[in-house]
Amino acid sequence: AHYFDIDPTIVRVIWGVLAFCYGAGVVAYIILWAIAPVSTEY
């Protein structure tokens, strides 16, 4: 959410809905984890 500059709550809701629908959220999470750059700012 920080990388895309959007509210984390929106990302969590979308992820929850996709995970509920046939596990697509888990697949999307893995894909985004693989392609998103690592942030050194916390």
The tokens 């500059």 sit on which residue? Answer: 5
**Distance from C-alpha of 6 to C-alpha of 21, rounded to nearest angstrom:** 23
Helix axes 8-20, 24-35, angle to 10 degrees: 130
pTM: 0.47
Domain count, the chain: 1
H-type alpha helices, the chain: 8-20, 24-35
Query: Per residue in 1-42, pLDDT tens?
Result: 777 888 888 888 887 887 777 777 778 788 888 898 777 766
Which among 10, 42, 16 is positioned nearest to 29, based on CA atoms? Answer: 16
- State the residue range of the domain holding 3: 1-37
Which among 13, 15, 10 is positioned nearest to 33, based on CA atoms? Answer: 15
Residue 42: its pLDDT value, please? 63
Specify if 17 maps to a domain: yes
Specify if 22 maps to a domain: yes
Specify if 42 maps to a domain: no
